[in-house]
Structure 1
Amino acid sequence: MRRGAEAKTASQHTCLTLARPRLDQPPSQPISSDPSLPPRDDATVVPGMRVSEVGHKQEVELVPNKIHFMKTLSLKPLAFEIPDFLSEDECKLLINLAKREGLKKSPIQFSKERADSLEELAVNQMEIFNILDFNHDGQLQIIEMMSHERLAKDQLLTPKDIMEMYSSLKADPDGNGVLSLEEFKGVNMQDFYRYIDRKKTNKRELVRNSQQAWLVQGKGAHPIMHSIQQRVIHLTRLSAEIIELSEPLQVVRYDPGGYYHAHWDSGKAVPDISRISLEQFVHISPYHFLSRYATVLIYLSNVTGGGETNFPIADNRTYDYQSLIQNNIDLRDTYRHCDKGNLRIKPVQGTAVFWYNHLSDDEGWIGDIDQYSLHGGCLVTEGTKWIANQWISVHPNKRSQLLLQKVMAQHANDGDQSEGIVDEYCPAVHEEL
């Protein structure tokens, strides 16, 4: 984030959009593509981006005087692979910067800071219910409760775990596995948390095993950080303002035995930030209010054994959470069952994988979470795996996004370093993901 950035009024951002391909748009300009792949008349594109079939390759210019090729990996979620996104030397540089910053054990529990923030904002039971109700049907399915970051904490919960908890707490009187708003309001959330705290956890059920560091990309950062941001801007076709207000770069190290069970990178954000003062907003950290619209994952090393990125249900015809666990095989379990996933991407140094975590709404803004974006990191059996994550963070409400940009620009104009917010709060941001 830049110091001294000028605040802009909402009227200057009336055309604020996100450039996820819309499947009903016809081509608006010629597309550079791999001549070995035949053209298709039913291509689904945004200007310059063709995504109609898995395996399709297109040219993208991320740095001056160099052409990269971007290959479509899947349509659900919409995911791409870009070889040589970084050079070998750039990968090594990022690893050294992360080591100098100091790697820490990746958190596996819900952040106390996050909990305190929600309490400070007085987020009530009704708001929590609405945040968890992904499909907006006025009920909480088991899958929606399992997605509750503080409830899951450090564990890979199963539907059986949730039903046992309901039974113990008498939260689901009719035993149908679905909580109405009245049933949800009838249970103290602290009782849910205490129940999970008492549950014994096998080490392999912990959500992840890794180390991480956060690298700030604002003024004063190493030039490579700005260069990566520019490439992400060209790759995603999003505005510089959105990218620069996103989370810092996260570098993660997985040693032998490291893994990350399948998860979604994003979740619903606190719905309304208009009631937040500047001081409160800065104190809490802006990233608590945002969703991760898209992910750019960069492999910083080759891996001798394991360590693939696994999308267990990519391009399934339909999505049913219950089908993830069948015959004692849990497709979310990347420690034991990565070989059962639909899409597995082998780490290759310098390669980036780019995917959307959300669908688009009717206005071209962030919509519902794409359930097919469920992904994880397979068990590293030999060698060390290094990756970098660049998340594109936006607020699901366009008006709140405009307010966010205005507030952050005002904070920068006041002479404070927004990087300080990042340094203090990023280890606690989205740690459940």
Structure 2
Amino acid sequence: MQSKMEETEENVMEEDESIFSDKPLSSPFNSPFRSTRLHIQRSNVCSRAYFVVVMVFFHVYILNVIALLLYVHYNNGPGDLVSGDGATPASVSESGSPLPHPAPAPRELHVEDYSQSYSLPRIEGIRVGHVQQVSLVPDRTHEMRTLSLKPLLFEIPGFLSEEECRVVVQLAQLKGLMESQTPAPSQGQEESNQPLLSLSTEEVFSLLDLNQDGLLQKQEIVSHSRSRDGTWLSPDNLRQILTGLEDRPSGMLTLEDFRRVYDVSQRPGQQRSGKLWSQFKQRSKHTWLYQGLGSHHVLQTLRNRVTSLTRLPSALVDLSEPLQVIRYEHGDFSNAHHDSSPSHTETTCAHTRLAGNTSALTEVFCRYLTVSFYLSSAEEGGETTFPVADNRTYEEQALVQDGVDLTETQETCGRGNLRIKPTAGTALLWYNHLSDGRGWMGELDEYSLHGDCPVRRGVKWVANSWVNVDPDHQMQARYQRLVAQRHRAKSAAEEHYQPLSHSDLHQDL
């Protein structure tokens, strides 16, 4: 009995071993289907898991490659003009620590890329006397001090080296300086905004009335302004007449209406704003120096430095006016004036006239900001004066105090609120316009009224760099596109490279 039981246990063990064995069993009672099915099932599980893992990793790899390509594509696009928060690296640190800035280098003209998110960054003044550290050249920092909040005015000592000042002066002398004299009238002489010919009101009306219908229409005034014949009627007179015409419900002026408007426009002292905008008096010599590709490396360096300081897109600076260099000798001066002009519907910016409205009454200079460099130190006099800087309010009537006109720097320079002594290498930066609250150029800052005191001893050299911006955002964009088209057309013709002629883009003062 025991031997049979042992035999039975051995058979069971052999049967169990045959189940997990790869060899087929010889026993007719063991089904080969069971062994084979289990073997195939185990092999399928392994191959499926391996296939799924491989495919998952393959898809993840492909997705990563696509994501990387998209990232590179969208982050290596043009960043100079399309950047809305400033295309140049921010070089000013409010906390006082300088931010690194690459060394300036000549750059190509890139103006074809333009975005609606384009904006104009502004430097914060914080408070009068606040000092910020700016990095404009490698391995060196400059201190920028806030001199005024109205207008927003900064002083940067050591902006130029002695060598750079000397080179700019020498280039200006080599170019040749021309007179920029607007003599002040002596007693008994007519004011400069008076007609040069003695014409009666009726004769002026008849000259403007082109169709001789006895009514003066806007088109007739605009037509006269386009004729460029301003010898007998100044742009300020035309603007005053046009304003009076627009105030009439009929949109036309009769002879009686014109007589009242014209007489007001001719009264000395009644239209002070016209004097401040365009008729200021000065005595000096000046010239213009091109700063683009092909110019002296010092001039290109200065333009790059202005771009870094202002944090404005380089295209705006590159397409602005050339550098103006002025020499003030003994007794030379300039009365208080604004560098830019208020915007009117009947005016167009001089720098965007390529894309401007041809029916505009007159062209004006649209200068968002001014960067002024002192190239020498006058021994005595020659201060830059801001007569109404940081006044509580601005009123043109307040410019005349006790019968003395504060805009006439020859007599009243010492009474200005802020006077800055010229020091070689020092730069001044001020904004001529306020912000419109949307990142673009707003109204003219009337507190930016400034002038140059007479030089008492020595010679004063100064250079002005203006950044031109049209208050019309779309007009500025269109202008830049037109300039880009010109640039591409010259390149396509394979002509010998010549810098963009600023005589085609700007009018000299």
TM range (shorter): 0.5 to 0.7
- How many angstroms apart in 2 are the aligned matches of 1:390 and 1:80? 15
Structure holding more helix per residue: 2
2:116 to 4, 8, 14: 14
Question: Structure 2 matches for 1:128-207, cutoff 5 A?
Answer: 150-151=235-236, 181-182=246-247, 186=253, 187=258, 207=281
Q: Does 1:257 align with 2:328?
A: no
Greater gyration radius: 2
Structure 1 pair 237/126, CA: closer, same or farther in 2 (3 Å)?
farther
Structure 1 pair 400/270, CA: closer, same or farther in 2 (3 Å)?
farther
Structure 1 pair 69/152, CA: closer, same or farther in 2 (3 Å)?
farther
TM-score scaled to structure 2, two decimals? 0.58
- Counterpart amino acid of 1:340? R
Structure 1 pair 304/193, CA: closer, same or farther in 2 (3 Å)?
farther
Q: Does 1:239 align with 2:319?
A: no
Q: Give the structure, 1 or 2, with the largest relative contact order (CA under 8 Å, sep 6 or more).
A: 1
Q: Count matched residues.
A: 335
Deviation (angstroms), 1:277: 11
Deviation (angstroms), 1:180: 7.1
- Counterpart amino acid of 1:372? Y
Deviation (angstroms), 1:411: 1.2
Gapped regions of structure 1 (runs ≥ 5): 22-44, 46-50, 111-122, 129-147, 154-165, 173-177, 198-204
1:256-295 alpha-carbon deviations (Å, 9 max, x no partner): 0100000000014686979x999787x9xxx957510000
Identity of aligned residues (%): 38
Q: CA RMSD in A?
A: 4.0
1:239-272 alpha-carbon deviations (Å, 9 max, x no partner): 1111111111000001101000000000146869
SS at match of 1:339: helix
Deviation (angstroms), 1:388: 0.2
SS at match of 2:423: coil
- How many angstroms apart in 2 are the aligned matches of 1:362 and 1:268? 17
2:383 to 308, 327, 335: 308
Alpha carbons 1:297, 1:390 under 8 Å: kept: yes
1:304-346 alpha-carbon deviations (Å, 9 max, x no partner): 1110000000000111110001212111011110000000000
Alpha carbons 2:381, 2:455 under 8 Å: kept: yes
Structure 1 pair 348/125, CA: closer, same or farther in 2 (3 Å)?
farther
Q: Which residue of 2 aligns with 1:91?
A: 165
- How many angstroms apart in 1 are the aligned matches of 2:463 and 2:455? 16
1:321 to 396, 400, 405: 396
Alpha carbons 2:376, 2:462 under 8 Å: kept: yes
- Counterpart amino acid of 1:266? S
- How many angstroms apart in 2 are the aligned matches of 1:97 and 1:306? 25
TM-score scaled to structure 1, two decimals? 0.68
Q: Which residue of 1 aligns with 2:139?
A: 65
Deviation (angstroms), 1:409: 1.3
- How many angstroms apart in 2 are the aligned matches of 1:237 and 1:383? 35
2:501 to 408, 421, 429: 421
1:75-107 alpha-carbon deviations (Å, 9 max, x no partner): 000000000000011001000000111100116
Alpha carbons 1:278, 1:407 under 8 Å: kept: no
Q: Does 1:370 align with 2:445?
A: yes
Question: Structure 2 matches for 1:341-356, cutoff 5 A?
Answer: 341-356=416-431
Structure 1 pair 192/317, CA: closer, same or farther in 2 (3 Å)?
same
- How many angstroms apart in 2 are the aligned matches of 1:333 and 1:389? 21
1:370-395 alpha-carbon deviations (Å, 9 max, x no partner): 00000000111111110000001111
